[in-house]
Amino acid sequence: MNLDLTSDQLTLQTAIEQLADHHRTVPTGTIDHFVPGVALERDLEENGFFDVARQDDMGAVEAALLIETIAQLPFTVEVGASALVAPMVLPGQVLPRPIALARAPFTGPVRYLTTAKTALIDTGNDVRLIDLTGANIEPVKTPFAYPYGRLTEGDIAKAKVLKGVSPALLRQWWQVSLAVEIYGVAKAAVDLTVQYVKDRRQFNRPIGQFQSVQHRLAECTMLVHGTRILARRAAWSGKASDAAEAAAYAQEAATRIHYDTHQFHGAMGITAEYPLHLWSFRLKALQGELGGQFEQAKAAAVAHWGA
Amino acid sequence: MDFEWTAEHNAFRERLRDVLTRTLPADWGVKSRYDTSSEYVSKYSRTFCPMLAKEGLLIPHWAKELGGEGLDGFHHWILGEEMVAAGEPRSYQYMSVNWVGPTLMKYGTKAQVDEFIPKIKSGNFIWCQGFSEPNAGSDLAALSTRAERTKNGYIINGSKIWTSGASFANHCFMLARTGGARRSGVSVFLIPMDAKGVEVRVIPNYIGERTVHEVFFTDVEVPEEWRLGEENKGWDIVTHVLNLERIGIPRYAFSLRVLDHAIDLLKQRGKYSDSAVQARAGRAKAACEASRHMALSIINERVNGRPASATTNVARYALVTSDRMIAEFLGDFLHDDLVGGNDPMIMSGYRRTGSVGIASGAAEVQLDLIARNLLQLPRGD
């Protein structure tokens, strides 16, 4: 056991951070629900980062390191499915990206579907692939800081069954991706809030001096640390039980961190002019994906103790 | 990054399990009730620990020149996990090997080392920790037990409280005020529990048979040789001790075992298939795994030679959180067992998790330390 990053992983992480440094702030005056990271996506593609898991001597852990950092940025970029889920589920096949992930029943809008060129869908019995090139996906307006679109019967009819790919494997790596992304987004939301409570003064003192604020942010910090270590373990081990535990823990953390980061920002946090929502309303979206914490926690129990 | 245990670590864990299987009586659960403080376990520890010593498993993490095996911090943590999961048959001797011995070797005189280290290594010498006082709990630096200078040493007067194992300990590693206020006037003393003027009262409690005590010191005559380290420099030793204790006990190891047992019971009763039960069990399991791996991250820091940081407090608070989830699970789904009180593992799991946030300093102190040292939030008034 050695929980330090290897020298290669540290080198990779440094390269990711250097790229991320060009994309840490949104333009002044941005009031959008979310900000698509067009330039960030281009930089990631040009530098081959989406293929990190397919490189020699690299894999899911390296993809997780990429997602950890990119999710902390204020821009919305599909990275989890492209860099982690697809390479682990279909190691021999490079899919056109962005990639949307969906599962039956196909009743609700799907994250990233409006911009995706491929969708991987879990029907419960098999995994299918939809080529969305040229598709006209109707965007859906949601409260969340991601683009959403709705699959049509026609889209689903075009889906091709991926032989030999199990839905359980897709769900497993989807869970890992969720956990890693929640870590990055949650860390950024907590970091922003910690700085805010140091700066914001009320009652002649920074509000971060109040113990009630300190304790809750310390608890949020514990949740961020716990989310990261479980997500990294799940990426490293490739075990279904680890993935379910990581996602269950992360989705519960997302709920709490969303609430506390907003609470400590007061009214400022609910304005579109202040950037908290760029992270907090990603957390809200990720909190409920794949059935939410209840489903992942059940899956964790079944993986460990059986059904 | 590598989460896999080495073959050496795995072999060490298997060896410990083998020893526990061979040694613990078949009715260990019934007899011990998994109560570290019980009369049965404390007596048992006086034969169990010498056996561990013979097997080279009492102090494997101590340096070879000190009689240990020179194994890394992960071995020490694995030892803790396996012993805690078994219900801690070492009783409070885990403190001797975790921090009392190493602290004596760092700060003790040759005479103190010669006297106490062989006793600790024999596995038949129990220490208690005389830190907390009625008015100095989480605020330890407020302690007021006084050691007044005399011609030949000191006279100690005062009292300690919440002292674990005091009624069966051989010696007390205690703090007394020898100088001014707060941290600058504290010294450490090594007091035999049968010294004249030392009295112990067991405090009835719902955690364990003899988990907490009051210890009264009335005109206890203490020779200079019983002081550890320099006079008024005891706070440095306290800091060293707390650094060695750092994340404390791998409580999750027992909690995970309790959870497994609870699931077995629920399965037998046809209640496990309820998806609400499964979700709550999975949630508690995930929290225990998070606290376990945060603790392992701290051990990883130690093994790689990095100093303690406030992430230790994060890991420690995670231990509290996951144990609370176990207690909540038992309370919600095994109510009848708790009322009936017949299952020693369920009862011990419930009792232990009930004290997790207050043992070794209130959990809120950990939150204060995270806020101050990790988040760099401004101090209060």
Instruction: Tell me which of 3.30.110.40, 3.40.1010.10, 3.10.20.340, 2.40.110.10 is the CATH number of domain B128-240.
Output: 2.40.110.10
Helix (H, G, I), strand (E, B) or coil at B234: helix
Whether residue B367 and residue A294 make contact (CB cut-off 8 A), yes or no, is no
Q: Closest to A3 (Cβ–Cβ): which among B260, B263, B300?
A: B300
The answer to whether residues A232 and B1 touch, using CB atoms and an 8 Å cutoff, is yes
Whether residue B2 and residue A301 make contact (CB cut-off 8 A), yes or no, is no
**Per-residue pLDDT at A28:** 84
Average per-residue pLDDT in chain B? 94
**pLDDT band at residue A196 using 50, 70 and 90 as cut-offs:** very high
Number of separate domains in chain A:
1
Helix (H, G, I), strand (E, B) or coil at B131: coil
- Taking only the tens place, the pLDDT of each residue in B234-271 is 999 998 888 777 677 899 999 999 999 999 999 999 99
Sketch the domain layout of chain B as residue ranges. 7-125, 128-240, 247-374
**Per-residue pLDDT at B246:** 64
User: CB contact, 8 Å: B309 with chain A?
Assistant: no
**Per-residue pLDDT at B381:** 66
**Per-residue pLDDT at A133:** 87
CATH architecture of B247-374: Up-down Bundle (1.20)
**Per-residue pLDDT at B380:** 76
- Taking only the tens place, the pLDDT of each residue in B291-317 is 999 999 999 999 999 988 889 999 999
pTM across the whole model:
0.95
Helix (H, G, I), strand (E, B) or coil at A203: coil
Does some domain include residue A299? yes
Nearest C-alpha in A relative to B364? A215
Range of the domain at A214: 167-305
Residues of B in contact with A244 (CB under 8 A): 282, 286
Nearest C-alpha in B relative to A295? B279
Q: Distance (Å, rounded) from C-alpha A149 to C-alpha B276?
A: 31
Q: Closest to B290 (Cβ–Cβ): which among A217, A230, A301?
A: A230
What number is the average pLDDT over the span B73-82? 96
**Per-residue pLDDT at B338:** 95
**What DSSP character marks residue B373?**
I
Q: Closest to B3 (Cβ–Cβ): which among A5, A198, A233?
A: A233
Whether residue A248 and residue B379 make contact (CB cut-off 8 A), yes or no, is no
* Count of CA atoms in the C-beta half-sphere (13 A) of A288: 11
Q: Closest to A221 (Cβ–Cβ): which among B1, B291, B374?
A: B374
Residues of A in contact with B3 (CB under 8 A): 1, 3, 232-233, 236-237
Of A9-13, B229-233, B240-244, least confident by mean pLDDT is: B240-244
State which H helix or E strand residue B155 sits in.
strand B153-161
Nearest C-alpha in B relative to A192? B375
Task: Look at residues A261, A295, A256 and name the one whose alpha carbon lies nearest to residue A276.
Answer: A261
Nearest C-alpha in B relative to A249? B286
- Taking only the tens place, the pLDDT of each residue in B94-124 is 899 989 999 999 999 999 999 999 999 999 9
What number is the average pLDDT over the span B223-239? 96
Residues 6+ apart with CB under 8 A from A157: none
**pLDDT band at residue A30 using 50, 70 and 90 as cut-offs:** confident
Helices (H) and strands (E) in chain A, counts: 11, 9
Q: Closest to A225 (Cβ–Cβ): which among B9, B278, B294?
A: B294
**Per-residue pLDDT at B1:** 96
Residue B65: pLDDT over 90: no
User: CB contact, 8 Å: B3 with chain A?
Assistant: yes
**Per-residue pLDDT at A140:** 95
Q: Which of residues 15-34 of B touch A (CB under 8 A)?
A: none
**Per-residue pLDDT at B358:** 85
What number is the average pLDDT over the span B4-9? 98
Residues of B in contact with A294 (CB under 8 A): 275, 279
**Per-residue pLDDT at B116:** 96
CATH label of the domain that carries residue A236? 1.20.140.10
Does some domain include residue A97? no
Percent of chain A's residues with pLDDT above 90? 92
**pLDDT band at residue A157 using 50, 70 and 90 as cut-offs:** confident
**What DSSP character marks residue A84?**
I
Whether residue B297 and residue A3 make contact (CB cut-off 8 A), yes or no, is yes
What number is the average pLDDT over the span A244-256? 98
User: What is the fold, at CATH topology level, of the domain defined by B7-125?
Assistant: Butyryl-Coa Dehydrogenase, subunit A; domain 1 (1.10.540)
User: CB contact, 8 Å: B275 with chain A?
Assistant: yes
Distances in Å between the Cα of B43 and the Cα atoms of A39, B40, B48, B206 are 69, 5, 9, 21
Q: Closest to B290 (Cβ–Cβ): which among A209, A219, A229?
A: A229
- What's A130-173 look like in SS3? EECCCCCCEEECCCCCCCEEECCHHHHHCCEECCCCCHHHHHHH
Q: How far is A65 from chain B (nearest CA, A)?
A: 11
